[in-house]
A and B are shown apart, each in its own frame.
Chain A
Amino acid sequence: MMEETKNLDLDRSIKKEAPQLAALLKEMKGVLDTVTSKVQALTAKVKANDFPTAGGISYLEAKHLLLLNYCQSLVYYSLRKAKGLSIEKHPVVQSLIEIRLFLEKIRPIDQKMEYQVQKLTRDIGRAAEQLNLKEKESEATEKSEDLLKYHPNPEMLVSRSDMMAEDGNAVYRPPKIAPTLMEEDKMSKQERNALRREKETQRRAKEGYMKDLIDDLEGRPEEVRENVGNESREFIRYQQQWEERAQREEELFTRAPVTKMEKKKEKHLKKSRDGLLALTDGFFDEIKTLPLEGDTGDQTKNFNNGSSATGRLKKRKRRY
């Protein structure tokens, strides 16, 4: 019973894959035909001595031989598989692996040789032309550019002044000296500030003085949060940083040294102020929107908490 079901499954899968197989085989045959025709053309040309192939780069010769060998082993391998013969512990497999390994290993050499190979092919082409034409100027050119020398060519350098486009329509194009990254989604300062202001208003609507007002107007019940007075924003942030740091230290079983700035901050926060640190926390947020005298547009005064830990040392100023 089991065998019958297995056979049925096999038949079904074969029927499904048979048309695919047929298509694949046709494709292969077509490709092989083109390859054979091309190879025959090439061999005919070589026999007619159109391409002098003696004295080439020996590295490339070796690479060709390796690739040929690999192809042959592949063909033999697929032949054995197609005939249903086992490939276990057959030397073909080992040779395949070996050749593959060699090919992978010489890949970096390939990259390094690229410049030389390119130069050679270019120059040989040019030299062949010169031979055919037999120019009288060839003597002069030989002295100025020895084709087989691989030294840097200062005449090929493009000067900076050349790079400026000679545009008579007075469109200034800056000279491209250093490579820069063009950010597509870069917002201007105004846009960024506007975004920040929006985020601020949204945040204020969720917590703080504005929230109470809005709740009152809309008739929502009053919300009371416990223990906000004791722990200022500064302190909470400090605690979070320390916890994260402690976690990492425990993971790595080492201690990170405490910098001077951190020590100063710690000292500042440990000064006992009887829990009054949080009193002036949201003060600035509340008075920011009020129209004070002597205010100019975007720049409002920075009413920071009396003496924060990094008051003097903070670089970024809130000016939005």
Chain B
Amino acid sequence: MADKAVTIRTRKFMTNRLLSRKQFIVDVLHPGRPNVSKVELKEKLASLYEVKDPNTIFVFKFRTHFGGGKSTGFGLIYDSVENAKKYEPKYRLIRNGLDTNVEKSRKQLKERKNRAKKVRGVKKVRSLVSFVMVS
């Protein structure tokens, strides 16, 4: 794509000491271009705020205004990756690559639950363990 001008502005900047992060609203102006990718936005924000580790930047909930050319969303910059891992919800960590998604087979989970329904009380734990080893 031809490098059309992408302008980023931040509004309502706030330092959240309780969650050890900085949070703000990101306004992206991208006339003539479809939505800007989150990776690109993170790079630009890293250069804007002089962040050493772009892994601590999270951008989400972007919405394009009517007619295109402008989108608004939220952004967070954590003090460190450990803080980010502590406070961020799992799906955002997965998006940033800081966590892996455990693919749980839905069918297995349901079977497990149905087996547990037949047994009452502490025996459930033992029965589940045995069945896990079998399956």
Contacts and interface: CB of A to CB of B under 8 A. Distances in A.
Contacts of B23: 253
A250 B61 contact: no
A239 B66 contact: yes
A57 B32 CA distance: 84
A150 to B, nearest CB: 43
A250 B12 contact: yes
A250 B66 contact: no
A246 interface: yes
Interface residues of A, number: 8
Interface in A244-263: 246, 250, 253-255
Interface in B56-78: 61, 63, 66, 72, 74
A302 to B, nearest CB: 29
Interface residues of B, number: 9
Interface in A238-297: 239, 242, 246, 250, 253-255, 270
B63 A255 contact: yes
B66 A253 contact: no
Interface of A is mostly: helix
Interface of B is mostly: strand
Interface in B3-57: 11-12, 23, 25
A62 B66 CA distance: 71
B63 A250 contact: no
A270 B68 CA distance: 11
7 contacts: A242-B66, A246-B72, A250-B11, A253-B25, A255-B61, A255-B63, A270-B66
Listed from nearest, the 10 A-B pairs whose CB atoms lie closest are A255-B61, A250-B25, A253-B74, A250-B12, A253-B23, A246-B72, A239-B66, A242-B66, A255-B63, A250-B11
